[in-house]
Structure 1
Amino acid sequence: MKKMSVIAFLLLMVAPLAANGVVIPPHPVEPGIGGFKMNYHNVDITLDNGIARVKIEEEFENVSSHRLEAVYLFPIPSSAVISDFVMKVGDQVFKGEVLPADEARKIYQEIVAKLKDPALLEYVGSQLIRLSVFPFEPGEKRQFHIEYTQPLEISSNAYTMIYPLKIDSFLTAPIGRVSIRIKTTDEIAEVFSPTHTLKEVQVSGVSGREYIFQAVDFVPSSDVAMVFTASTEEIPSSVATFWDEKAGEGYFLLTLIPRLKEERIIPKDVVFVLDISGSMYGEKIEQAKKALEQVLQMLRSDDRFAIVTFDDGIYDLTGGLLSASEKGVWIEKVRRIQADGMTNIYGALQTSIDMFSRGDEGRFKVLLFLTDGAPTSGITETGRIVSDATNEARARNVHLFSFGVGTGVVAELLDRLVQENAGRVSYIVEGENIESKVTELYRSIETPALENVVISMEGIETAKVLPTGPHSLFSGYALRLSGLFFEEGDLKVTVEGTRGGERHTYEYYFQIDKIAGNEFVSRIWAQKRIALLANIYRYDSSLSEKAREEVAQEIIALSKKFNIINEFTSFLIAPERHLSYNAVVDRGGLGVAPQTTGSVMAAKSVAEMEMDQFVEGGTSDYRFVGSIGFYLKDEVWIEDNPEVEKLVPVKVKAFSQAYFDLFNVDDWLKEVLSLGEKVKFIYKGTLFETGDTGIENEKELEEFLK
């Protein structure tokens, strides 16, 4: 068996798994060798006041006769906050600590060089945990324990939740045992799953209900969808608090649910902006057209619409806003749209936003953006795209909604656009049935409750309330606010906003108490705070270098305090750092760490992972790193560039110090080296080739990087 690249699996890009945790080799294993088996998958879900606490325990076994490298992947909801990570090997339990990312990577590389037993957990997206494990010995069993907290979506008088369970054929056998146990309080009348059969079980002496799904030799075919129906007709607004006695401060989580009666339908102006660039070719453009067609069909008689398409050019197809009565003709025209060219997102947003009037005509203004979100033409800087589009949209009171289509979505861009412009986003991968997602997103557009929302608090002192806005409220959806408080007492929250040009005011009253048992509340606030700081660090061009460093230090300090992983820090499990302890791990293995982890990525999603990395029978022989293509020839990944044949390569030996240094130069090189052990690519005019031979010393490499 050929030696696998350590760094290749460290930054491995995989399909957008809708899966429970899964261990996979970084490259296809040779036939007959075998691979990994999941012996059991146990899940405890506890629901309390609209917050789900999830504990997972999984055991994997190397059923091959060879030492294998492995990547453990675990997708989580984007709203979840990870609170612990544990790996158990035999009788030893190893816990992670938070380190600056550079330090964690350096230690990891040193241990790999010694063939010890490290595990590095890095966030590669807000919806994916990745853990690299090496070596994984023949017959060895390893248990992984993860806990996360997730505020659930609210719809009418029910909470909804998706637990990721589906596995995409990376195991060599079915899961030995699966157990999913759901515990609720008296606030829940019933738990229903349209995808799995849940059995209600009676537990004496415990309030609420328990439901369980169990199976043996199980091959998951879908995620677990759950609907929690409330005991009351409507789910009330609520508050959860946590008091940190040592710090002398508390944290609150407000859930505000507007109950505005639909006395009249607000007419809408909807501008559809459809990406028709070459990256959208094939199934992605077909999905985008279906979404556009479906929303066109849902327009009401008083609505107006316009359609803009873009590649490297911008095309105003309708010539401005049209009456909804003309939608039938345009549905047929949409079906004939084809994809080709580059991606000028900046120009498309500027042109489409300019189609809205600046006056308040009592109409709800919506820009519906359908794209794979990868700008390659015109202005491509994410910060500039978001900033300029936001300035124009706010001047016209435009709400931006987005569908991210396909597995190459740059979700960081789309998420920031909707966050800054009081909208919502939904992601659709190839092959997915988009009807339900389109309907759900459009329901937000159909029932705007309040625009231009201003929130004020009085009664007790509060601080650092997040998110900062702008806010819009939608009927049936909750707005969650998190912040700090310093004393008990009554809190009055006033929510003011407009609907159809009319002003509305709502008042909410909450009792804020010093409660010691809700640590997750502080975790949710810390995640939001770090995400805010990370966006400032990345995109505020007015920051001085000193100010940027101060922002980075606050992020790292919060990360260490709350055990949060992000691009500034990483979880590292390494026996050489004496992080092991002998302990009896309870089901879930999470009784020790009091703090949390969370995503600071401005929401780079699982959908960014390239789907063609793993396909049946092997890997794809053509991939993109950014906008640069690579093809596989004689086990070497070669940049698709005619200059490759003209240049003399600088050879770098894989796994040498020079190789590690090259890997750490920038993010593009990380992705290039993740293609495999042998790669030929051009960087700053120099052709590099990694493989079995070449320079090993970092000083030799330096002269080629100048």
Structure 2
Amino acid sequence: MRTYLLIICLLVLPLAGGFADGLMLPSDESYPADLLRNRVTEVTVNIRGLVAETVVYQEFLNEWDQATDAVYSFPLPEDARSTLLLYTRNDTTFRAVLKVSPQTPNPGTGGGGIAAQVNDYIGPHGIRLKLLNIAPGTVQKVELHYISTLDFHRGECTYRYPLASGDFIPYPFDHLEFNVNVNSARPITDFDIPSHPQYQTLVSEPEQLVLRMRQPLAFAATDILFRFTTDNQVLGIDFFSTNNDTIDGHFNLFVRPENLASGTELLTKNIVFLLGNSSSMIGYKLEQSIQAISQSLDMLGPDDNFNIILFNSSVYKWKPSLVSANAANIAAAKTYLSEVTGSQGSRLDWGIDVALNQFTNNQYNNVILAFTDGRSPIDPRSIALSNVHQTGLFFVAIGDDVERARLEMTADLNYGFVTYFQEDENLLEGMIRVSEKITMPLLKNVALTFDKPDVYGLIPQVYPSTYAGAYFFVAGRYQSPGAATLSLSGEGVGGAVQYDYQVDFNASTTIDQFAALLWAKEMIDALEYEVSVYGETPALKDSLIALSLRYGIRCRYTAYFADYTTVTTSIDPGELPVISRSFLEGNYPNPFNPST
């Protein structure tokens, strides 16, 4: 039966990384345990470049002598989107249907208990599917597909499947399996599964890797962590595209600078370290942030300039304006940081306004690195309009109380990115990795052009500087297949430069199908941020629903249902509504209409 389920999945999506493992919560309060027993978890990850498609296959045993309904709950990671959900009854595999309906929480939230705990565990981004009449003594099989991108730093690519769920699953699985298949356009120089070192290497070629880890009677005590390293010594790209029989094609572009660069290749930097020192930051979070800033100061070159700004209920500047990154100023800044204590309030919005005013031109590569653990009424569009000197705005967000939508939208519109940390992580190590990226700028004022007029629907629309050891990503649409030239231009240490790359907009409808899913994921993410920050409009709601149903990706307005038929929900491309708002000027491009 399981083989049939996997074959069906592969037919639907040829290649197919959460917070933790899926759970099956019985609906009948008389069920003799909190959860149906998780017998098997198998995770298969297919990686192309920096894109990961994950398939999670699970088996749950009804240990009762009666039939029961149950809710499958999976804590999907915030940076992923589900693309397919399958389930079984007897010898038949069904596809869960997306319908226009808000996803309901597991019952029992008001009274606490296991249902409330599972709801908290799953989080608002998680997946739920109610399954009916699971017969006594039978196994309920579920398979979830989702898409995400890898964490990347200086050639090291990291995938994490947070398996650890010991609070809910204190017993061992009968079978735990992790399979990973990597296809890279760059030589793979190293790889490891440090969390589960008892793995097999099935294929190890310069640009291809296949690993398998199997464990009987395995506990869900440790996340599965997989890493591989690629060699990259020149500025290059990864380009993926796929056509479609009924709608326009989709493409993904990853701009990948060299892993490391010498000081003579780096642009001069102006950087403001914006540190939140609210009372909630007191202790480990503030200590680690201060250490990270202190060590980041040592990464600056003698021609760079910097300042430190604190924000709480007010804003405080260390110096009135940027100062040179010489030894005396760096030593004085470290002394200042060592005396920082906690205060009340978290006005990140005021801090950003003051920090932006530190930059008087865009002669150098301008950066704000903000450390925050709370919420603040920042207005992404207002900040973008005030950001007249193309300053990259980067956030280090700590804990669960940060407002992801505001931070992501602000970073997207202001040449930056957000890096998230849990409070119990090694914060210093992660923060230093962020600093190592943004202190190595190679090109600023970056522009992308295609000598192909039918390219449209690009997201994002603002491109960051290129940094050694990092990457940036653009997704889009095209009307007709064929070869084209992509031009990447910007300003380097020697002035204006341009790099031309030959790319192929695929005619095939079967190659790199994930490109369509990743474009849709990015568009849904962006529109949901818009709704969260600026409020719902009929156009935004209709557009999100249309994207969700067309691409089979759940959004805030849709939910999975088990109807025990093979019918799937789709929508005619010609009826897809127009998205009417933009990030900056009220003219968000319609992802289905190239003329807007």
TM-score bucket of the superposed structures, by smaller chain: 0.7 to 0.9
Q: How far off its partner does 1:45 sit?
A: 1.9
In structure 2, runs of 5+ residues without a counterpart are 1-17, 108-117, 572-578, 580-596
- What is the distance in 1 between the residues matched to 2:336 and 2:131? 51
Q: 1:398 maps to what in 2?
A: 391
Q: How far off its partner does 1:23 sit?
A: 4.8
- Do residues 523 (structure 1) and 526 (structure 2) align? no
Identity in percent: 20
Change (3 A) 1:334 1:221: farther
Q: 1:74 maps to what in 2?
A: 75
Change (3 A) 1:344 1:49: closer
Q: Note if contact 2:202-2:212 (Cα within 8 Å) is conserved in structure 1.
A: no
Q: 1:183 maps to what in 2?
A: 181
- What is the distance in 2 between the residues matched to 1:288 and 1:307? 12
- Do residues 341 (structure 1) and 344 (structure 2) align? yes
- What is the distance in 2 between the residues matched to 1:268 and 1:422? 15
Q: Note if contact 1:71-1:131 (Cα within 8 Å) is conserved in structure 2.
A: yes
Q: 1:272 maps to what in 2?
A: 273
Cα-to-partner distance string for 1:388-416 (whole Å, 9 max, x where unaligned): 222222x1221111110122121212212
Q: Secondary structure at the match of 1:253?
A: strand
User: What letter matches 1:145 in structure 2?
Assistant: E
Change (3 A) 1:332 1:312: same
Cα-to-partner distance string for 1:391-442 (whole Å, 9 max, x where unaligned): 222x122111111012212121221221111112211111211233112211
Q: How far off its partner does 1:75 sit?
A: 3.2
User: What letter matches 2:96 in structure 1?
Assistant: G
Q: Note if contact 2:62-2:137 (Cα within 8 Å) is conserved in structure 1.
A: yes
Q: 1:254 maps to what in 2?
A: 253
Q: Secondary structure at the match of 1:237?
A: strand
Q: Which of 381, 385, 391 is residue 387 of structure 1 equivalent to?
A: 381
Q: 1:46 maps to what in 2?
A: 46
Q: Note if contact 1:252-1:521 (Cα within 8 Å) is conserved in structure 2.
A: yes
Change (3 A) 1:339 1:241: same
User: What letter matches 2:514 in structure 1?
Assistant: F
User: What letter matches 2:349 in structure 1?
Assistant: Y
Q: Secondary structure at the match of 1:565?
A: coil
Cα-to-partner distance string for 1:530-557 (whole Å, 9 max, x where unaligned): 334445556569xxx9xx4233223212
Q: Secondary structure at the match of 1:349?
A: helix
- Do residues 315 (structure 1) and 354 (structure 2) align? no
Change (3 A) 1:565 1:448: same
Q: Note if contact 1:454-1:471 (Cα within 8 Å) is conserved in structure 2.
A: no
Q: Note if contact 2:267-2:365 (Cα within 8 Å) is conserved in structure 1.
A: yes
Q: How does 1:56-205 map to 2 (within 5 A)?
A: 56-61=56-61, 72-76=73-77, 78=79, 80-88=80-88, 93-102=93-102, 105=104, 128-130=126-128, 141-153=139-151, 155=153, 159-185=157-183, 189=188, 191-197=191-197, 199-202=199-202
Q: Secondary structure at the match of 2:243?
A: strand
Change (3 A) 1:72 1:552: closer
Q: Which of 405, 408, 411 is residue 404 of structure 2 equivalent to?
A: 411
Greater Cα radius of gyration, structure 1 or 2 = 1
Q: How far off its partner does 1:271 sit?
A: 1.4
Q: How far off its partner does 1:132 sit?
A: 6.5
- What is the distance in 2 between the residues matched to 1:224 and 1:215? 12
Q: Secondary structure at the match of 1:342?
A: coil
Change (3 A) 1:294 1:167: farther
- Do residues 356 (structure 1) and 359 (structure 2) align? yes
Q: 2:303 maps to what in 1?
A: 302
Q: How far off its partner does 1:447 sit?
A: 1.2
Change (3 A) 1:58 1:484: same
Q: How far off its partner does 1:278 sit?
A: 3.1
Q: 2:469 maps to what in 1?
A: 476
- What is the distance in 1 between the residues matched to 2:144 and 2:213? 19
In structure 1, runs of 5+ residues without a counterpart are 1-16, 110-119, 583-591, 601-706
Q: 1:216 maps to what in 2?
A: 216
Q: 2:438 maps to what in 1?
A: 445
- What is the distance in 2 between the residues matched to 1:238 and 1:50? 9
- What is the distance in 2 between the residues matched to 1:123 and 1:93? 28
- What is the distance in 2 between the residues matched to 1:559 and 1:180? 29
Q: How does 1:561-640 map to 2 (within 5 A)?
A: 561-573=550-562, 578-580=563-565
Q: How far off its partner does 1:360 sit?
A: 3.3
Change (3 A) 1:253 1:22: same
Report the number of matched residues: 533
Q: How far off its partner does 1:173 sit?
A: 0.9
Change (3 A) 1:217 1:473: same
Q: 2:227 maps to what in 1?
A: 227
- What is the distance in 2 between the residues matched to 1:539 and 1:406? 20
Q: 2:542 maps to what in 1?
A: 553
Q: Note if contact 1:491-1:509 (Cα within 8 Å) is conserved in structure 2.
A: yes
Q: Note if contact 2:405-2:529 (Cα within 8 Å) is conserved in structure 1.
A: no
- Do residues 20 (structure 1) and 13 (structure 2) align? no
Q: Secondary structure at the match of 1:432?
A: coil
Cα-to-partner distance string for 1:81-130 (whole Å, 9 max, x where unaligned): 4211123455565532222234x659x99xxxxxxxxxx99998796445
The alignment yields a C-alpha RMSD, in angstroms, of 4.0
Q: How far off its partner does 1:217 sit?
A: 2.2
Cα-to-partner distance string for 1:585-632 (whole Å, 9 max, x where unaligned): xxxxxxx9999xxxx9xxxxxxxxxxxxxxxxxxxxxxxxxxxxxxxx
User: What letter matches 2:470 in structure 1?
Assistant: Y
Q: Note if contact 2:178-2:214 (Cα within 8 Å) is conserved in structure 1.
A: yes
Q: Secondary structure at the match of 1:238?
A: strand
- What is the distance in 2 between the residues matched to 1:413 and 1:21? 29
Cα-to-partner distance string for 1:195-219 (whole Å, 9 max, x where unaligned): 3325345489xx9542111112223
User: What letter matches 1:311 in structure 2?
Assistant: N
Q: Note if contact 2:257-2:471 (Cα within 8 Å) is conserved in structure 1.
A: yes
Cα-to-partner distance string for 1:548-592 (whole Å, 9 max, x where unaligned): 42332232122111112112222233xxxx34459xxxxxxxxx9
Q: How far off its partner does 1:170 sit?
A: 1.8
User: What letter matches 2:422 in structure 1?
Assistant: V
- Do residues 371 (structure 1) and 365 (structure 2) align? no
Q: Note if contact 2:285-2:427 (Cα within 8 Å) is conserved in structure 1.
A: no
- What is the distance in 2 between the residues matched to 1:593 and 1:216? 38
- What is the distance in 2 between the residues matched to 1:126 and 1:468? 28
TM-score by length of 2: 0.78
Change (3 A) 1:333 1:179: same
Change (3 A) 1:307 1:476: closer
Q: Note if contact 2:266-2:442 (Cα within 8 Å) is conserved in structure 1.
A: no
- What is the distance in 1 between the residues matched to 2:433 and 2:84? 32
Cα-to-partner distance string for 1:30-49 (whole Å, 9 max, x where unaligned): 9x966554211111222334
- Do residues 507 (structure 1) and 526 (structure 2) align? no
Q: How far off its partner does 1:498 sit?
A: 1.7
Q: How far off its partner does 1:308 sit?
A: 1.7
- What is the distance in 2 between the residues matched to 1:552 and 1:373? 28
Q: Secondary structure at the match of 2:462?
A: coil
Q: Secondary structure at the match of 1:471?
A: coil
Q: Which of 456, 479, 484 is residue 463 of structure 1 equivalent to?
A: 456
Change (3 A) 1:214 1:490: same
Q: Secondary structure at the match of 2:54?
A: strand
- What is the distance in 1 between the residues matched to 2:519 and 2:475? 5
